[in-house]
């Protein structure tokens, strides 16, 4: 009986049973992990895009200051023209 219970074909059969029982659960875990990975990759992309937009806004301060100066200059020229035409 001991020899029959420890025969290699019996061991392989037991391994096959174990794999057959645990494989569907492992496949489901794999699918769940892939789904979570896709979701996290989407979130990472969103965060990186937002950080890039904020950095670009910070870098555009120079341009906004230039625009502000040009608007002040245009307003001053308009005021001078209005005063000259009176």
Question: Which pLDDT tens digit goes with each residue over 17-66?
Answer: 999 999 999 999 999 999 999 999 999 999 999 999 998 888 888 889 99
pLDDT of res. 3: 66
Tokens of 72: 């002040």
Tokens of 13: 């059969």
pTM of the model: 0.51
Number of structural domains in the chain: 1
Host domain of residue 35 = 2-85
């Amino acid at each position: 009986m001991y020899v029959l219970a420890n025969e290699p074909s019996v061991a392989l059969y037991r391994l096959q049973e174990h794999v057959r029982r645990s494989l569907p659960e492992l496949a489901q875990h794999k699918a769940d992990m892939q789904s979570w990975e896709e979701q996290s990759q989407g979130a990472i992309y969103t965060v990186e895009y937002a950080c890039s937009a904020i950095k670009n806004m910070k870098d555009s301060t120079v341009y906004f200051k230039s625009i502000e100066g040009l608007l002040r200059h245009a307003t001053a020229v308009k005021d001078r023209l209005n005063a000259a035409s009176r």
